[in-house]
Structure 1
């Protein structure tokens, strides 16, 4: 999705932040609609509200950066992507120089790929190092030797899933005492069905020419192969007896190459009258409210499953691939169907079953879905947790000095 508007955060104040306003440099691969960029923006807004300073360094911006200036966050284009050790050394040296000149207290690498650079830069500049593991539990074993070392020497490692944290603790036992779980949180005032007005939903329905009398299923996801768009099309081809409209919506990180492939697949399955491949949308709450069913047929596990969180916050039924992190996010929901990853037939049957739920029953279950999610997916709680962790690191540094 595009970088959503972040509403103002309440001012968080702690003893350590009052003593010394922290300076945090967050590193993200790209400032786009991905989870790393989203988290960096949320954390940065909270730090600024607490009286600190935030810089976000990124390889390139694939989304508007106006939200950065709105919250006083400074965005910096840095050449961060490199698989060459020599080039990576030069990148780390530049990041370290910037950190030293800007008096950065903590470097926070928001991906495993940047952990190595963040580690080298923090060590050179004398900063504390925080790393976030965004990938699913299955990706822990695939970490390179250098990435493992970077995580092992981090002052703090954050993951968004208890399942992933358990896997990291098993693979890297020395990290157990420095591992924290901070579940992904969203702005629950924005993703609140009571705040999504009918005209906003109608506007999107007209824009996408959605008929009034047939159910709508939606797959909100970045247009990447791992998100399972092709699998969904295959499943839809197997349930032609169901009258429905499917909307695929999300950003194009590859400039539209994969989108064009999907258009060819839609034609090959003869689904032109059932599937719309839409442009990305900023008003995601209205888009989700337009849908009768949200589908996340991922082929690869994701650790934060943002779309599953946003859908539940609005009380929408969800069909998702049965990965451990998805199971964790959907735990307790009365309108969630989990399917075998990569299995088009299983996905088709789950869609059929979900759409068979009577409207009055769906409406009766909606409050339970919302209340089940809210206590564990609050953006403000997430921000407060991260600030507390930063605070602890700064207190430790102060006491050690």
Structure 2
């Protein structure tokens, strides 16, 4: 089998988000390694950037959860795989993964999945539906937390699991690469006062992302301004705005909306927060903030437990506890600037050592080689972060 195979990635759509960015990053890696990258999805605004990389996009109605639609998509994917000589079909979401699994069986391609979250099991049959993400010949877990979840929930053989954390581009997320004018532009656009410390919470508006926790906490942090940076959730936005007004926090808690320049936005924050109330599979915004050498306070659950070492690369607080979050913010703001800077520097060094896009790409290509060339079994967990689940 060729060292640079044709890889078909399958996901619902290419609009925005971590799964979608990861798809483009792997397509880029496949092409740079001399292979061919195909992506099947329902389309979206990231199709053009994907095609600029040299990948081919195939539009299919892969958002559907209708069983008939899933079977039809399986037929289209199998035909595509046979026609293009696809060696690897890599599924990144549940409904299209069922189509991808059937297509792999029909075409003879290897089947790989990336398990991106702790999927809800609140209705009968949901565990079976979710289980497709644990059926890959190799199952990529994006954190040790997710690897353990896969073993516990699905009974997956640890020999099939590969732990590959998400990564950031250290050239893009580089504090030395952001001109002061970029930070000043955001400060002006969002109406952030120049004389107060800034607490920044990045992430789309969603109840479990913890924006409401920060709003409540800010009533006990009178010296600072909070920025909630992220789009979506119009109903939640209205609820948050009403609560901000009820607490008299107008001008001190700012619903900033979407930011196109996240490196500059992160540098605007004196402290960057992760406040999720449900376990985050990994928490990419945490390592983005750390790459920018920002002090980070994270909720003590899920993936951030692996990237935020208490008192070394940041701090952790109980999830969903406004009083604990407020106390942590006050405590960190009271530290000498040099001590906060030292925490940020250690956090960036940790990211550069193991959570870069290049490391994630290399580890994923190694998984592909395992299947197409029969090479190695990865490394034991506890060596590099990328490795086999223990």
Mark yes or no: TM-score above 0.5: yes
Alignment partner of 1:88 is 2:70:
yes
* CA drift at 1:333: 5.6
Give the structure 2 partner of residue 131 of structure 1.
113
Instruction: Determine if contact 2:282/2:302 at 8 Å carries over to the other structure.
Output: no
* CA drift at 1:68: 1.0
Give the structure 2 partner of residue 298 of structure 1.
276
The CA RMSD measured in Å over matched residues stands at 2.5
Instruction: Determine if contact 2:16/2:46 at 8 Å carries over to the other structure.
Output: no
Alignment partner of 1:247 is 2:230:
no
Instruction: Determine if contact 1:59/1:80 at 8 Å carries over to the other structure.
Output: yes
Which runs of no fewer than 5 residues in structure 1 stay unpaired? 1-15
User: How do 1:3-152 residues align onto structure 2 when only pairs under 5 Å count?
Assistant: 19=2, 21-61=4-44, 63-136=45-118, 144-148=127-131, 150-151=132-133
* CA drift at 1:152: 5.0
Alignment partner of 1:157 is 2:139:
yes
Give the structure 1 partner of residue 175 of structure 2.
193
Give the structure 2 partner of residue 11 of structure 1.
none
How far apart, CA to CA, are the structure 1 residues paired with 2:334 and 2:59?
49
After TM superposition, the score normalised by the length of structure 2 is 0.88
* CA drift at 1:274: 0.8
State the SS of the aligned residue for 1:186.
Answer: coil
Label 1:164 to 1:102 Cα distance change in 2 as closer, same or farther (>3 A). same
How far apart, CA to CA, are the structure 1 residues paired with 2:30 and 2:155?
30
Which runs of no fewer than 5 residues in structure 2 stay unpaired? 376-390
State the SS of the aligned residue for 1:57.
Answer: strand
How far apart, CA to CA, are the structure 1 residues paired with 2:122 and 2:139?
13
Instruction: Determine if contact 1:223/1:259 at 8 Å carries over to the other structure.
Output: yes
State the SS of the aligned residue for 2:8.
Answer: strand
State the SS of the aligned residue for 2:157.
Answer: helix
How far apart, CA to CA, are the structure 1 residues paired with 2:122 and 2:140?
13
Give the structure 2 partner of residue 394 of structure 1.
372
Instruction: Determine if contact 1:112/1:131 at 8 Å carries over to the other structure.
Output: no
Alignment partner of 1:202 is 2:184:
yes
Cα distance per residue 1:17-38 (max 9 Å; x no partner):
xx35421111223323322111
Give the structure 1 partner of residue 356 of structure 2.
378
How far apart, CA to CA, are the structure 1 residues paired with 2:35 and 2:231?
32
Cα distance per residue 1:84-133 (max 9 Å; x no partner):
33332223222222322333221111134433222122112221110000
How far apart, CA to CA, are the structure 1 residues paired with 2:102 and 2:311?
43
How far apart, CA to CA, are the structure 1 residues paired with 2:329 and 2:158?
40
Of residues 314, 329, 332, the one that matches 1:351 is 329
Label 1:47 to 1:224 Cα distance change in 2 as closer, same or farther (>3 A). same
Aligned residue pairs, count: 374
After TM superposition, the score normalised by the length of structure 1 is 0.86
Alignment partner of 1:230 is 2:208:
no
Instruction: Determine if contact 1:333/1:368 at 8 Å carries over to the other structure.
Output: no
